[in-house]
Structure 1
Amino acid sequence: MTTRCEWDVLPEPVKRAAEDRTGPILKAESATSGRNSELAATLWTSQGRIFCKGITTASSLSVMHHNEISVSQFLPAELAPRLLWHVEEGGWLLLGFEHVTGQHADLSPGSGDIPLVTDAVNVIAQVSVPAGRRAMSTQWARALTSEIHAAPPEKASAWSVDNADTLTSWASRAPEHIDGPALIHTDLNPANFLIADTARVIDWAWWRTGAAWIDPAFVLIRLIAAGHPPAEAEQWANRIPGFRDANPDALTAFAASVLRLWERKFPSTNTTAAARAWAQHRLG
């Protein structure tokens, strides 16, 4: 979580570095959403609008902005707003993006946004990135190392406590299943889709490479959180070839691992409750 900085109070050399890319900035309006940028603003220029996000280079969160820079070269224009420029000046890193309008996705049953989200998830699965870049299997194994040997968290549900040994056994198998060459966003929540005529996907700070079924699995959990029964959410995910072809044991292991990790970090959220519902469905 960061403290939001207004454009007008940025150091003058930082603003000049941005204007070297944009021309004079006529107006700036801060965004109200987002947690990981110290600057997030729409900038009006003589050439039109630009969305700019930024972070101080000393911040530990600056790595997320470098991640967005590194993945931008692989993202199709129809999938994500284009990164137009980035500058590092005066202790700040700024990224300037194509300005895209749209509403966050509605994933509730019957929503007309769901077909557009489906199309976007299918496009992500077709993006080619260099093999082995930011492998999710390594990150997931590291996250689970202590978790699978720990007792259930204090605020875990009664079901999770009663089934702790089964969840631990399945969760421990997850890293062996999630390796792969596919691009994965890893945070496909409704706020990271912008819906207009198509769905555009934003905030690529957590991108990884891994199995092609992982992003559909994350969306599946969000669908459950929005009111879909787990079996119905899996029917949606089966429209994505990578998910449809996945080893069933891989899905069960992943469901268990997501629950173990999220129940400790976010025990009371609707999304964690959805992850639990999916794990219950997978485990019978």
Structure 2
Amino acid sequence: MTTAPPAQGVRRHWDSVPEPVRRALAEALGAPVVRARTQSGGFSPGVAARVTLADGRRAFVKAVSAQANPHTPKFHRAEARNAAALPESVPAPRLLTTYDDGTWVALAFEDVAGRQPHVPWRAAELTRVLDAVARLGRTPAPPGTRPAVDRLAENFAGWRRIVDEGRGPGAGLDAWSVRNAPRLAELASSWTDFADGDMLAHADLRADNILLTADDVVFVDWPHAVRAAPWFDLLVMLPCVRAQGGPQPERVFSAHPLGRAAEPEGVTRALAGLAGYFLEQAGRPAPPGLPTLRAFQRAQGEAAVAWLRARLEGG
């Protein structure tokens, strides 16, 4: 199985942000930035920095222009909407202010005194995160949160595109996936019948989107938040955990309270959709500013396919 590479975008430094953007953020935050430390983890090109303001306060700022990646400003705008709507009970950084001039989009959050989990995953840290995922899976989604079955319908049709395009081993697919692609496309076609729900899902939980503090687990980067079944985040997260040195997904899922309560057929069908998404995306050209994204998706896809095959074959 392929090991996931580091989750990294091509970062720009705080000084690369145009002066009008920095000035507007300073006005909104009440003081200018006097120090900035670039953060390397995560699939977002542009600026991601922990900053210190002139009055001693701290914040986390992310900023990007359409020139760095034409899609990332859209994700930043979605994150601003989602972060502003999160219930107070959700362990997430609070949004302080935003800036959007149509080209540059910037978000400032409270700075969290925490660190990402170790990779490869350590058992004790994974246990902490899984407990937090259980709490999140019982949190009702805020009004207006888009359903996962709507937002991800096209994404989870990856096997159908693989079949329609006649992709084979030369497209990075293993022999089992090529042979079973039509069956997997059919299996994934009804994932929406099971994954619908009213709970809040982050929908992109990875080690680089998690911070461990002294007494809590904080989930960051919320552009993909959806309304889904309680077990959806757990399902989406576990192939990445496996690809980053963690345990077998089935063992974790079946032992977790959200996994135990899930409909087995629905889990298998949603997993088929997730595996198809990762492998179909991995075969595309790398997007601007995200050199490791496709390899990261391939590692997740291989882990998801291995889990799916074990469920289908009773392994």
- The TM-score bracket by the shorter chain reads 0.7 to 0.9
Instruction: Report SS of the residue matched to 2:257.
Output: coil
- 1:107 and 1:14 map into 2 onto residues whose CA distance is 35
Alignment partner, residue 42 of structure 2: 34
Structure 2: gaps spanning 5 or more residues: 1-7, 284-294
Instruction: Report SS of the residue matched to 1:281.
Output: helix
Query: Is contact 1:107–1:113 with CA below 8 Å preserved after alignment?
Result: no
Does residue 213 (structure 1) correspond to residue 231 (structure 2)? The answer is yes
Alignment partner, residue 268 of structure 2: 252
The aligned length equals: 281
Does residue 141 (structure 1) correspond to residue 160 (structure 2)? The answer is no
User: Relative to 1, partners in 2 of residues 1:273 and 1:94: Cα closer, same or farther, differing over 3 Å?
Assistant: same
- 1:121 and 1:57 map into 2 onto residues whose CA distance is 33
Give the Å deviation of 1:199.
Answer: 1.4
- 2:306 and 2:253 map into 1 onto residues whose CA distance is 12
Give the Å deviation of 1:78.
Answer: 5.9
Give the Å deviation of 1:176.
Answer: 2.4
Give the Å deviation of 1:109.
Answer: 6.9
Query: Is contact 2:191–2:273 with CA below 8 Å preserved after alignment?
Result: yes
Query: Is contact 2:46–2:64 with CA below 8 Å preserved after alignment?
Result: yes
Give the Å deviation of 1:23.
Answer: 0.7
Give the Å deviation of 1:278.
Answer: 0.9
Of 29, 51, 60, the residue aligned with 1:51 is 60
TM-score, normalised to structure 1's length?
0.87
**Counterpart of 1:44 in structure 2: which amino acid?**
T
Give the Å deviation of 1:203.
Answer: 0.8
**Counterpart of 1:48 in structure 2: which amino acid?**
R
Query: Is contact 1:222–1:274 with CA below 8 Å preserved after alignment?
Result: yes
TM-score, normalised to structure 2's length?
0.79
Report which structure shows greater RCO (CA 8 Å, sep ≥6): 2
Does residue 235 (structure 1) correspond to residue 258 (structure 2)? The answer is no
User: Relative to 1, partners in 2 of residues 1:35 and 1:223: Cα closer, same or farther, differing over 3 Å?
Assistant: closer
User: Relative to 1, partners in 2 of residues 1:229 and 1:126: Cα closer, same or farther, differing over 3 Å?
Assistant: closer
- 1:55 and 1:5 map into 2 onto residues whose CA distance is 9
Give the Å deviation of 1:204.
Answer: 0.8
Of 216, 220, 224, the residue aligned with 2:242 is 224
**Counterpart of 2:263 in structure 1: which amino acid?**
N
Query: Is contact 2:142–2:200 with CA below 8 Å preserved after alignment?
Result: no
1:186-211, CA deviations, whole angstroms, 9 ceiling, x for partnerless residues?
11111111112221111111111121
Query: Is contact 1:106–1:114 with CA below 8 Å preserved after alignment?
Result: no
**Counterpart of 1:248 in structure 2: which amino acid?**
P
Give the Å deviation of 1:230.
Answer: 3.9
Instruction: Report SS of the residue matched to 2:88.
Output: coil
Give the 5 Å matches for 1:127-138. 127-131=139-143, 133-138=145-150
Alignment partner, residue 11 of structure 2: 4
Give the 5 Å matches for 1:159-178. 159-178=176-195
Give the 5 Å matches for 1:90-105. 91-105=103-117
Instruction: Report SS of the residue matched to 2:136.
Output: helix
Give the 5 Å matches for 1:262-273. 262-266=278-282, 269-273=298-302
Instruction: Report SS of the residue matched to 1:205.
Output: coil
Structure 1: gaps spanning 5 or more residues: none
Give the Å deviation of 1:131.
Answer: 4.8
* Superposition CA RMSD, Å: 2.6
Give the Å deviation of 1:249.
Answer: 0.8
**Counterpart of 2:61 in structure 1: which amino acid?**
C
1:107-128, CA deviations, whole angstroms, 9 ceiling, x for partnerless residues?
7576210222022212322333
Percent pairwise identity? 27
Query: Is contact 1:87–1:95 with CA below 8 Å preserved after alignment?
Result: yes
